[in-house]
C-alpha cells in the first residue's frame, strides 16, 4: 500500500500539465514554406493536411474556401524526427525507484510490452518534442531478453492514444564476448566465460522452446499459454525483427551468426564496431541503429572521431542505418545534433536528415505512415525557423497526426522565470 501511495505521489508531482492537441476539424494549408520532404527533395511550396493525413504537396495549392491558411514563408517544414530507441515515458527520475519502469525482473521477459507502462504525462516528453522529435521507439531494458518495444507519439491522453505501433520487435542484450580485466570485475576469467556460455545457451534453449510451443499450438496439443513464448512467435515467423544490442566486434559477429542459424530478422542496435564488418551486415541485409554518434570511442586507444564517422562509413559501404541518441530517457531532444555531427564527419546533410526520419521509419516498419512528407502519410510534422541540424534553430510549430502540439515545456518556463529575475535586477538587457 505504501508503494502504491508513493507511486501516486510521484506521478502527481511529476506529471506534465499540458493538454494534448485536438483535431482542428478543418483542413490546414501551410503556404510558402521550405518543404524538406526527405523522399522527394527540398523545394518551396505548399502543404495541405486534413483529418490527420497529408492530402497535397505542391509548389502551389489553390484554395476554394473552408481552409485555415497559415503563411509560413521562409520557414522550414520537416517530417517529425524519430528517435529509434529510448526509455522516455518509462523513467522520470533515475534516482527514484518509484518512477523507473523500464526494467522488469528476470532474464527472459519477451512478454513485457513497453506501451503498457508508458507515461504520457512525463515532463521529458514536452522537452523532447520541443526540438522536433515527435516519434520515439520506447524500448525495454535489462536481462537477456528485455521485452517488446513500441513506437509512441509524443502527445496524447493515454498510452493507447500515443501508440503508433506496438510489437515493433523483441530486444536482446547480447552477452559480453570478452574477458573484462577492469579492477571492479571480481569474477575470474573462467567465471566470466562460464556466464557468457550460460547466456548463449539460454538464447538457444529459448528458440527451441518457441519452436516446440509453435508446433504444439499448430497440432492443437498445447495446453495453456506461455506469455514469453507467445511474444516470441512473431520473431520466429519473421513478422517482427529481433533487436540485438551489441557494440563490440565479437558480439556483432556472434549475433549475426546466431540470427542466420536461427533464421531470424535482425536489427543491430549500438553497433560501435559495425564499420569493421560492413560486408557481413550488407550481405545479410542487417540494418544498424547507430547509437549516440556524439559519444566517446569504444576503447581508450580508439580514434577520437570513431563514433563521429561511423554513419558515413556505413553509408559508403551500402549498409542500411539510422541515427539515434543514447538509449536513456533524457536528452532525446539532442537527436538532430547527433545527425549533424555525422554530417560534419563525412555524411551528406541529406543523408543525415534521412537518418533521423525516413531511414528510421523504414527500420521500424512505419515508413507507410511517417518519416517523410508525402501524400497519404500522417501529418506528423513541424515548422522551424532554420535548418534543424543547426543548434540555433527553433521549432515554432508542431503537429502530430494533424493535431497542433503545445511546445511549452519546463525548461522554457525556467528560462522565462530567470530572465525575469535578472530583468528586475537590471542585469538582463542592460548591456552589463
Q: What is the dihedral of CA 287, 278, 324, 112, to 10 degrees?
A: 50
**pLDDT greater at residue 187 or residue 323:** 323
> What pLDDT score does 430 carry?
56
With 90 as the cut, is the pLDDT of residue 185 above it? no
Q: Count H helices and E strands in the chain, helices first.
A: 12, 18
In angstroms, the CA 236 to CA 263 distance is 8
Q: 10-47: per-residue pLDDT in tens?
A: 444 455 568 998 999 999 999 999 999 999 999 999 99
In angstroms, the CA 164 to CA 156 distance is 11
Q: 138-164: per-residue pLDDT in tens?
A: 999 999 999 999 999 999 999 999 999
Of 12, 13, 51, 21, nearest to 156 by C-alpha is 21
With 80 as the cut, is the pLDDT of residue 129 above it? yes
Half-sphere exposure of 345 (CA within 13 A, CB side): 19
Q: 224-280: per-residue pLDDT in tens?
A: 899 999 999 999 999 999 999 999 999 999 999 999 999 999 999 999 999 999 999
List the beta bridge partners of residue 199.
none
pLDDT bracket for residue 427 (50, 70, 90)? confident
Contact partners, residue 105, CB within 8 Å, separation at least 6: none
Domains of the chain (ranges plus CATH)? Answer: 81-404 (3.20.20.140)
Percentage with pLDDT > 70 across the chain: 95
Q: What are phi and psi of 111, to 5 degrees?
A: -80, -5
Could you give the maximum distance between any two Cα atoms of the chain, in Å? Answer: 81
pLDDT bracket for residue 168 (50, 70, 90)? very high
Mean pLDDT calculated for residue range 181-186: 85
Asked if 379 and 359 touch (Cβ cutoff 8 Å), the reply is: no
Amino acid at each position: 500500500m505504501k508503494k502504491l501511495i508513493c507511486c501516486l505521489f510521484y506521478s502527481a508531482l511529476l506529471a506534465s500539465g499540458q493538454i494534448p492537441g485536438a483535431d482542428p476539424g478543418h483542413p490546414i494549408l501551410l503556404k510558402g514554406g521550405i518543404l524538406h520532404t526527405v523522399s522527394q527533395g527540398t523545394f518551396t511550396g505548399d502543404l495541405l493536411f486534413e483529418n490527420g493525413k497529408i492530402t497535397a504537396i505542391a509548389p502551389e495549392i489553390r484554395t476554394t474556401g473552408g481552409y485555415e491558411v497559415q503563411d509560413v514563408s521562409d520557414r522550414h517544414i520537416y517530417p517529425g524526427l524519430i528517435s529509434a530507441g529510448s526509455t522516455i515515458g518509462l523513467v522520470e527520475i533515475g534516482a527514484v525507484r518509484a518512477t523507473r519502469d523500464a526494467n522488469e525482473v528476470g532474464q527472459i521477459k519477451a512478454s513485457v510490452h513497453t506501451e503498457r507502462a508508458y507515461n504520457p504525462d512525463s515532463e521529458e516528453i514536452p522537452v523532447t518534442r520541443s526540438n522536433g522529435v515527435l516519434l520515439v521507439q520506447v524500448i525495454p531494458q535489462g536481462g537477456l531478453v528485455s521485452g517488446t518495444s513500441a513506437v509512441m507519439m509524443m502527445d496524447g491522453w493515454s498510452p493507447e492514444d500515443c501508440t503508433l505501433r506496438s510489437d515493433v520487435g523483441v530486444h536482446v542484450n547480447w552477452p559480453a564476448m570478452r574477458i573484462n580485466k577492469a579492477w571492479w570485475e571480481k569474477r575470474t576469467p573462467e567465471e566470466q566465460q562460464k556466464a557468457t556460455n550460460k547466456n548463449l545457451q539460454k538464447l538457444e534453449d529459448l528458440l527451441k522452446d518457441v519452436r516446440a510451443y509453435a508446433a504444439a499450438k499448430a497440432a492443437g496439443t498445447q495446453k495453456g499459454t506461455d506469455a514469453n513464448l507467445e511474444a516470441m512467435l512473431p520473431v520466429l515467423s519473421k513478422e517482427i525483427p529481433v533487436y540485438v544490442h551489441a557494440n563490440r566486434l565479437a558480439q556483432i559477429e556472434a549475433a549475426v551468426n546466431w540470427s542466420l542459424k536461427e533464421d531470424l530478422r535482425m536489427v543491430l542496435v549500438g553497433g560501435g564496431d559495425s564499420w569493421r564488418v560492413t560486408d557481413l551486415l550488407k550481405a545479410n541485409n542487417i540494418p544498424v541503429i547507430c547509437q549516440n554518434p556524439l559519444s566517446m570511442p569504444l576503447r581508450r586507444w580508439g580514434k577520437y572521431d570513431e563514433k563521429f564517422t561511423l554513419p558515413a562509413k556505413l553509408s559508403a559501404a551500402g549498409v542500411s542505418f539510422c541515427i539515434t541518441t543514447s538509449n536513456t530517457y533524457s536528452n532525446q531532444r539532442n537527436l538532430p545534433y547527433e545527425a549533424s555531427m555525422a554530417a560534419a564527419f563525412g555524411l551528406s546533410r541529406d543523408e543525415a536528415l534521412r537518418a533521423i526520419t525516413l531511414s528510421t521509419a523504414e527500420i521500424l516498419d512505419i515508413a507507410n505512415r511517417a518519416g517523410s512528407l508525402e501524400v497519404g502519410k500522417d501529418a506528423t510534422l513541424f515548422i522551424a525557423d532554420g535548418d534543424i541540424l543547426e543548434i540555433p534553430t527553433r521549432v515554432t510549430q508542431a503537429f502530430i497526426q494533424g493535431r497542433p502540439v503545445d511546445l511549452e515545456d519546463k525548461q522554457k518556463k525556467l528560462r522565462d522565470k530567470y530572465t525575469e529575475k535578472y530583468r528586475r535586477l537590471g542585469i538582463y538587457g542592460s548591456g552589463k
